Structure 1
Amino acid sequence: MTTSRCIGILGSGQLGRMLAIAAAQLGIDTHIYAPDAAASPAASVASRWTEAAYDDLAALNDFVASVDVVTSEFENVPAEVMQQISAHCPASPGEAALRIAQHRVAEKTLAARLGINTPRFWPVTSATGLDGALTELGGDGILKTCRLGYDGKGQRRVASGDDASAIFDSFGSDDAILEEKIDFAFEISCLVARAPDGSIAHFPVSQNTHENGILARTVAPATIPSSLAEKAQQATAALADEVGLFGVLAVEFFVTSDDRLLFNEMAPRPHNSFHWTIEGCASSQFTQLARVLAGLGFGDTSAYGRWQMDNLLGQHMQQVPDLLASNGVHLHLYGKPDAHTNRKMGHATRQLPES
């Protein structure tokens, strides 16, 4: 078995931080590469870091030469960078996975092609196109940027009959998607790890609550019929296989009141809704990714009971003293200096009593 001695991580946020911590527990070094690496959550726990732009070819080549495998902690690293890296060393999640996950139309088109149900959607590149899409919509919808939107950013609620020209002119993007607004009962997410040989390992399904477009709470394993969980996991595995994933893939789904499953979005990286696995599974999502990257095989992903994870945003930091004093609470702070409103500063996990 070949073991990677150093994992290179593109990006310097909390996901890179928690991956570096998990890798260190396995005796694996990490090297952070990011434009803001010096004063970042990840750099403070990594073995080393490089602060440089993603298009700095000289710095990128030096970085690649110093590691055995590279992964990205966020999906918006330029796909061309991943392509360049993959010519010199194994790269996770892979160029194809990144390109698909970077564009909302591309990922929904892929899901639909694989027979995975999605909300109705229309690509929007002009005011005329938006006007036609709103007419076909025949109700309420959400206009989203195709790229770079996260945590509710780059979105606007719209409806048939709205002034398409005014909306399009003020939206700020000519690469958008109109999605029908779904009256869903709740949201779930799946996470699968996939090795280069195509073998996979699933985590239990998470059930999520969002507030203002940002994940507020996850409870896992989700209290849903096993048939629904299996269907969601099968869809996630199909997506991972189709893009040739190397690493982990998270997929969010809407669940309707009649138990219909609708694809929402995917991310080829660790996911906020699986932070509970740090305490809740023998191999957390971060440990699992480190194992896959290092060629160590899959770890045990079964859950130790049921868990609740609550995000701590900037406006929640006054809760920290009480959380520190609470029995059974596992507090994770990300080391970010400025507690801005809606900025993810940490999370708290606790085991739920058996029902």
Structure 2
Amino acid sequence: MADLPLPPGSTLGILGGGQLGRMLSQAASRLGFNVVILDPEENSPAGRVSQGQVIAAYDDPTALQVLGRVAQAVTFEFENVPAASVQTLVESGAEVAPGARALAVAQDRVDEKTFLNSVGATTVDFAAVDSVDDLVAGLERLGVPALLKTRREGYDGKGQVWVRAVSEAADAWNAIDGKPAVLEAKAAFTRELSVIAARGRDGQVAVYPLGENIHEGGVLRTTLAPAKVDRKTDARAREIAAAILNGLDYVGVLGVELFDLGKGVLLVNEIAPRVHNTGHWTQDGCVCDQFEQHIRAVAGWPLGPTEPHARVEMTNLLGDEVDQWTALAAEPDARLHLYGKAEARPGRKMAHVNRVSKL
């Protein structure tokens, strides 16, 4: 295993070559690290800004062994990395962070909610669903409407369907292709908040200010940060983040999506064991953004400051909205972050813009 903290000049491996991997690689390069990407897509966005890329499937044993040998530490940009891949990397001598337990918890929505409640990070009431009969029973217990989600995978509104009557159970089950699922009670929240937090290898925890999120069609459109919250809400969010990080013995940055019920009452919607879309505002609102923070934690460095120096409105650019780059680049208070993706498909995240103002 590598000696920590890793000195500049060390090599970091990243599983995933998309925009999060790209921004992680850019942050690592600024700190003096070499970066190697593993991604099946040739000429990936992250690969183009890194020292090299291994072009292979995420479960390719030879590719993983190569990455584990050249990289002193390995991390990932998405949570659906096969657990066996992490084990292969560990066996090849690489430090992998976040660890296997965080991955396992985040990959299964029932396990995730069970864990969250066990550490005092309360969620909506829920029921595991493995059949239409389970779904009917869950609807009768939780009430309608309720949200049916596949237990594994699914993102940006995919793999889920609202069930508004018990009579819709069969259709809803077919809509998710009869996959193992979780049924979630509807939460009477006023808005969605998120908190980005990090934990170092020494157990140090650093928490960024809350962001307020606005979604359209199940996809994040805008994050406003720091969010306007009272002290009780802020303190509760920090308490939740620390409980999750410590409960998982976590290393790296974690995103926590929250339902704000008012008066300091927060429910956890879900967690993401990685840098997170709702933390992009930190790139232009904080001295140490979420990407540098993650690299610091993985490499065993001290965590950076999380205090904001500006207010930021982060907006995702989807599909051909990226064609507005000339107009956005002309805005004096806008910082444009382009992902280098070749094809602007409808709904695909192509870039984001941070509009900065004074606190």
Aligned length: 353
Task: Determine the structure 1 residue equivalent to 2:291.
Answer: 286
Root-mean-square deviation (CA, aligned residues, Å) is 1.4
Is 1:49 aligned to 2:20, yes or no?
A: no
Q: Is the 8 A contact 1:201 1:298 kept in 2?
A: yes
Task: Determine the structure 1 residue equivalent to 2:249.
Answer: 244
Query: Where in structure 1 do 4 or more consecutive aligned residues deviate above 6 Å?
Result: none
Once residues 62 and 217 of structure 1 are traced to their aligned partners in structure 2, the CA distance between those partners, rounded to angstroms, is 39
The structural deviation recorded for 1:303 is 0.5
Once residues 137 and 37 of structure 2 are traced to their aligned partners in structure 1, the CA distance between those partners, rounded to angstroms, is 46
Task: Determine the structure 2 residue equivalent to 1:116.
Answer: 121
SS of residue in 2 equivalent to 1:262: strand
Choose the corresponding residue for 1:79, options 76, 80, 83. Answer: 83
Show structure 1 runs of 5+ residues with no match.
Answer: none
Is 1:39 aligned to 2:33, yes or no?
A: no
The structural deviation recorded for 1:141 is 0.9
Once residues 2 and 235 of structure 1 are traced to their aligned partners in structure 2, the CA distance between those partners, rounded to angstroms, is 28
Once residues 44 and 174 of structure 1 are traced to their aligned partners in structure 2, the CA distance between those partners, rounded to angstroms, is 37
Once residues 13 and 21 of structure 1 are traced to their aligned partners in structure 2, the CA distance between those partners, rounded to angstroms, is 12
Q: Which amino acid aligns with 1:82?
A: V
SS of residue in 1 equivalent to 2:237: helix
Q: Percent identity?
A: 41
SS of residue in 2 equivalent to 1:332: strand
Is 1:307 aligned to 2:327, yes or no?
A: no
SS of residue in 2 equivalent to 1:21: helix
Once residues 292 and 161 of structure 1 are traced to their aligned partners in structure 2, the CA distance between those partners, rounded to angstroms, is 47
Cα deviation code 1:87-136 (max 9, x no counterpart): 32210110000000011111111111122221111111001100111111
SS of residue in 2 equivalent to 1:270: coil
SS of residue in 1 equivalent to 2:47: coil
Once residues 55 and 43 of structure 1 are traced to their aligned partners in structure 2, the CA distance between those partners, rounded to angstroms, is 18
Task: Determine the structure 1 residue equivalent to 2:111.
Answer: 106
Higher mean alpha-carbon deviation, 245-254 vs 191-200, is at: 191-200
Cα deviation code 1:230-277 (max 9, x no counterpart): 111111111111111111111100002454211100001000011111
Is 1:3 aligned to 2:10, yes or no?
A: no
Q: Which amino acid aligns with 1:79?
A: A
Q: Is the 8 A contact 1:135 1:160 kept in 2?
A: no
Once residues 55 and 61 of structure 1 are traced to their aligned partners in structure 2, the CA distance between those partners, rounded to angstroms, is 10
SS of residue in 1 equivalent to 2:275: coil
Q: Which amino acid aligns with 1:159?
A: R
Q: Is the 8 A contact 2:209 2:307 kept in 1?
A: yes
SS of residue in 2 equivalent to 1:322: helix
Q: Is the 8 A contact 1:329 1:350 kept in 2?
A: yes
The structural deviation recorded for 1:214 is 0.7
Once residues 54 and 105 of structure 2 are traced to their aligned partners in structure 1, the CA distance between those partners, rounded to angstroms, is 27
Task: Determine the structure 1 residue equivalent to 2:68.
Answer: 64
Task: Determine the structure 2 residue equivalent to 1:129.
Answer: 134
Once residues 2 and 163 of structure 1 are traced to their aligned partners in structure 2, the CA distance between those partners, rounded to angstroms, is 55
Show structure 2 runs of 5+ residues with no match.
Answer: none
TM-score (norm 1): 0.96
Once residues 20 and 239 of structure 1 are traced to their aligned partners in structure 2, the CA distance between those partners, rounded to angstroms, is 26
The structural deviation recorded for 1:195 is 1.4
Is 1:13 aligned to 2:18, yes or no?
A: yes
Once residues 180 and 39 of structure 2 are traced to their aligned partners in structure 1, the CA distance between those partners, rounded to angstroms, is 26
SS of residue in 2 equivalent to 1:229: helix
Cα deviation code 1:151-209 (max 9, x no counterpart): 11111110232232332133214211111122321111111111122111111111111
The residue correspondences of 1:1-355 to structure 2 (distance < 5 A) are: 2-4=5-7, 5-36=10-41, 38-87=42-91, 88-354=93-359
Once residues 86 and 29 of structure 2 are traced to their aligned partners in structure 1, the CA distance between those partners, rounded to angstroms, is 24
Once residues 184 and 173 of structure 2 are traced to their aligned partners in structure 1, the CA distance between those partners, rounded to angstroms, is 15
Q: Which amino acid aligns with 1:272?
A: N
SS of residue in 2 equivalent to 1:320: helix
